[in-house]
Amino acid sequence: MRREITGFSNPTVKYLRSLREKKHRKREGKFLAEGLRLLTDARESGRLPEMLVMALGRDAHPLLNTLEADVLEAGGEVVETTPDILGKITGKDNPQAVAGVFAEFDTGITSLQRDRAPIWLVAQALRDPGNLGTMLRTGDAIGAGGLILIDDCADPFSVEAVRASMGAIFTQSVAQANWPEFLEWLRGGSGQLVAASLRDALPYRQAPYAAPCFVMVGNESRGLPQEYEDACDLRVTMPMRGRADSLNAAVAGAVLGYEVLAALEG
């Protein structure tokens, strides 16, 4: 189905704007993604938006034409609206010419297949959606199976996290669990849990990593609780040559992720 919307008070516009808030995303089980590249990555990963929203007067593009045709063929809806309304929907003054509404994925930890990848990223109480999106992007880059979110983390389906993931929200598995649930699942099969730490830690470039390796980072300001560190199979430390005493959580995950990748491939 195809239709055009030109009024800010249209119920569909209100519905789309509501998806910027977590409580409405959870109620509807939907989330927003913006930009042709991101939506093309979704299509190539086998996921199509249920609703495709495009700006009137946009420049023609073959990838957008293909996306539009696939959405219509799958029984989805195509909405055309003004750039101003699209900006209201996405919350950006200069929105891209296309956005999509997707169904949220299953984030149950029991749905993960741990042996399908040698590396997994784990984040505990990660509060910044930009960091979360960056970790998804890192996971895609290093060939990780996905990102496991422990305890009270930022919403992986927020507009900010999806945008920061640069499409990796569609290529990486995402799971959510509290600490006891995660630990029970992890110890129910193979898996080495690794975290950066200053306590009884090995230099990160000399550690005996083993697949599947679960690389865990903690909250941006507090780090990992001691009991979580104590439960790790391996604690590693990274040298800090300057005045800073720690790295950004997402950066630490990337550094460790690439070191694990090099060790497992070597």
CA distance 57 to 59: 7
142 and 92 housed in the same domain? no
**Same domain membership, residue 146 and residue 79:** no
46: left (phi over 0), alpha (psi -120 to 50) or beta: left
Same domain, 80 and 178: no
Please give the share of the chain, as a percent, with pLDDT higher than 90: 83
> In this structure, are 115 and 9 located in the same domain?
no
Confidence of residue 97 (pLDDT cuts 50, 70, 90): confident
**Co-location of 131 and 254 in the same domain:** yes
- Of 77, 103, 129, the one marking the end of a domain is 103
What is the CATH classification number for the domain harbouring 215?
3.40.1280.10
Single residue among 49, 71, 103 that ends a domain in this structure: 103
Asked if 56 and 118 sit in the same domain, the reply is no
Tell me which residue range forms the domain holding 38.
2-103
Q: Give the CATH number of the domain where residue 17 resides.
A: 3.30.1330.30
| Residues 247, 183 within the same domain | yes
pLDDT at residue number 243: 75
Same domain assignment for residues 74 and 122: no
DSSP class per residue in 185-221: HHTTS--EEEEE-SSS-EETTS----SSEEEEE-BTT
Summarised one tens digit per residue, pLDDT across range 188-239 is 999 999 998 878 889 999 999 999 999 999 998 888 999 999 999 999 988 7
Average pLDDT, the chain: 93
Q: Which residues pair with 79 in a beta bridge?
A: 3, 53
Q: Do residues 59 and 117 share a domain?
A: no
> Averaged over 243-257, what is the pLDDT?
85
Which neighbouring-strand residues pair with 203? 237
Residues 130 and 176 in one domain: yes
Which of 69, 103, 137 marks a domain boundary? 103
For the cut 90, the answer to whether the pLDDT of residue 123 exceeds it is yes
Better pLDDT: 96 or 181? 181
| Length of the chain as a residue count | 266
CB 93 within 8 A of CB 17: no
The reply to whether 238 and 138 lie within a common domain is: yes
Residue 92 shares a structural domain with residue 139: no
The count of domains in the chain is: 2
Name the nearest CA neighbour of 120 among 222, 260, 263, 228: 260
Instruction: Name every residue whose Cβ is closer than 8 Å to that of residue 14 and which is 6 or more positions away in sequence.
Output: none
Straight-line distance from the first to the last Cα atom of the chain, in angstroms, rounded to the nearest whole number: 52
Radius of gyration of the chain (CA): 20
